[in-house]
Amino acid sequence: MEHDSHTPWEFNGSFYQPSAFLMMGIPGLEALHPWLSIPFCALYLTALLGNCVILFIIRRTPSLHEPMYYFLSMLAVTDLGLALCTLPTTLGLLWFDVRRIGFDACLAQMYFIHILSFIESSVLLAMAFDRFIAISHPLRHPAILTKSTVLKIGLAIVLRGMVSLLPIPFLLKRLSYCGRTELSHSFCFHPDIMNLACADIKVNVFYGMIVLLSTVGMDFIFIVLSYILILRTVVSLTTREECLKALNTCVSHICAVLVFFIPMIGLSMIHRFGKGVPPLVNTLVAYTYLTIPPALNPVIYSIKSTHIREALLRALCRERGSDW
């Protein structure tokens, strides 16, 4: 890929900062970008429509006004945000070869992508806690997870993501950049921007690792612990039917956890330790991390959740009846 020869630079003594970065498509497949935009459009359309349908169904169905579905609503809003964050730059590059993104716009996109990723991780933890209480302490579940408690958990999740990531754009803005402006993806990612700097990035690396481990890392550990406790409770149930019924309520959540955490961990490892990893692998893992979970989560919950599926069918029947 060529450098943008028209990209101006800000100069202040020995301090250099690009006015824009150049985003990369899928390495080696640039000629196929118009065709590759078709599956991306399908994924984005599924993410937008699917999550909007989930929110609509939960809002219109009083029987779904309980903690499990409140947390599912938070997950759907987060997935909508993730899809909308990357959709303009990804489709702009694939359709129109728009590779340039302003420096400040890139930092803003990066900030929101990371915030929404951290929020999704925390919401998945809250959903695991909800399943643990519902299975291990079913009689106390309504008293523990009241509407006000769920609202406080949601606010705490958002504040934790915003505050913990607030220094990241400023840590990147203080760096001096040498001349390379090509990002590895069609969106802005903290390690990707950081590696373009020619200054000392130890503070960025250290802070990024601490934030990642103290948020997403801790969330994953607590999700695993929640399921260990859930399994202990399920094993103590007397009949096989009760065990299967209890585990069946967790299947959708387990799928959502795997779909989110596996590519996220893979991408983090590649950016920090995978210097010899082919660029195509890096790109595919990144796109999997940011496009697959928002598209799959509503599909998973619509298929596996009987209550969501029945509410969706009732809504479709009402619409069809009104047409007649």
pLDDT tens across 207-226, in order?
999 999 999 999 999 999 99
What pLDDT score was predicted for residue 66? 93
| The total number of residues written for the chain in this structure | 324
Q: Does the pLDDT at position 202 exceed 70? A: yes
Mean pLDDT of 86-107: 95
Residue 317 has pLDDT above 90, yes or no: no
pLDDT score at 320: 64
Confidence category of residue 324, pLDDT binned at 50, 70, 90: low
* 19 contacts: CB under 8 Å, gap ≥ 6: 7, 8, 9, 10, 102, 103
Residue 313 has pLDDT above 60, yes or no: yes
- Residue by residue, DSSP assigns 129-198 as HHHHHHHH-TTTHHHHS-HHHHHHHHHHHHHHHHHHHTHHHHHHHTS-B-S--B-SSSS--HHHHHTTB-
Pairwise pLDDT comparison (6 vs 39), residue with the higher score = 39
- Percentage of the chain beyond pLDDT 70 is 94
Q: Residue 318: its pLDDT value, please? A: 74
Per-residue pLDDT, 321: 58
Query: What pLDDT digit, counting tens, does each position of 128-180 carry?
Result: 999 999 999 999 999 999 999 999 999 999 999 999 999 999 999 999 998 78
pTM over 0.95: no
Alpha-carbon separation of residue 130 from 79, 80, 165, 194 (angstroms) = 20, 22, 26, 37
pLDDT cut 90: percent of the chain above it = 70
**Mean pLDDT along residues 98-120:** 96
pLDDT of 312 above 70: yes
In order of 11, 55, 75, the CA distances from 52 in angstroms are: 46, 5, 11
The more confident residue out of 307 and 1 is 307
DSSP 11-24: EETTEEEESEEE--
pLDDT at 295: 96
Average pLDDT over residues 180-205: 91
What pLDDT score does 53 carry?
94
**Residues 224-232: contacts with CB under 8 Å, at least 24 apart:** 226/125, 226/128, 226/129, 226/131, 226/132, 227/128, 227/254, 229/132, 229/136, 230/131, 230/132, 230/135, 230/136
Convert the pLDDT of each residue in 26-80 to its tens digit: 988 888 999 999 999 999 999 999 999 999 999 999 989 999 999 999 999 999 9
Average pLDDT of the residues of the chain: 89
The pLDDT of residue 4:
43
Q: Is residue 322 pLDDT above 70, yes or no?
A: no
Query: Per-residue pLDDT tens for 232-258?
Result: 988 887 677 878 877 888 999 999 999
Q: Helix, strand or coil for residue 276?
A: coil
Angle at 258 (CA atoms; ends 257, 264), nearest 5 degrees: 90
Give pLDDT, residue 2. Answer: 40
Split at pLDDT 50, 70, 90, the class of 1 is very low
Q: Look up tokens 């959740």; give the residue.
A: 305
Token pair, residue 26, equals 């899928």
What is the model's pLDDT at position 3? 41
Q: What domains are there in the chain, each with its CATH number?
A: 32-311 (1.20.1070.10)
Grouping H, G, I as helix, E, B as strand and the rest as coil, residue 9 is strand
252-274 pLDDT tens trace: 999 999 999 999 998 888 877 77
d(CA 290, CA 306): 27
Predicted local distance difference test score (pLDDT) of residue 319: 65
The neighbouring-strand residues paired with 15 are: 12
* pLDDT score of 238: 65
